[in-house]
Amino acid sequence: MQQIILQLPGAALAILTILLVLIFLSAWKAPRWVRPIGSIALGFCALSYLFGFFLGLAVIDKASEISPAVMIGGLKTWNWFIVYGLLIYFVSHVISFIQKPGH
């Protein structure tokens, strides 16, 4: 698991981690903000995934020969990024559900 975390892009991972911390803080202080912060994390994750994917395609287009192993390695890294964003979104919904079980 540590190798997976070390492969993720630093700035985007830091922003998602900050959003995760904000979810836990808002669950304590402002419960209404838990779900919107989770949605922001999911949207940020999707946008940065697409941005990174298109940047990767641009690099592949400029290079003459790229190993398929390098391309697959990049896709694996970005897919773990999506999993982390979905996990944050799931956590926000679980916390929101626990706080308001009737809704």
Residue bearing the bigger pLDDT, 89 or 58: 89
Q: Given a cut of 70, is residue 14 above it in pLDDT?
A: yes
pTM score: 0.78
Q: Residue 101: what pLDDT?
A: 63
Instruction: Tell me the pLDDT tens digit for each residue of 21-76.
Output: 999 999 989 899 999 999 999 999 888 888 777 777 777 788 778 788 877 887 77
Specify the 3-state DSSP secondary structure of 81: helix
User: How many other β-carbons are positioned within 10 Å of the β-carbon of residue 84?
Assistant: 20
Which residue reads 């999911």 in tokens?
42
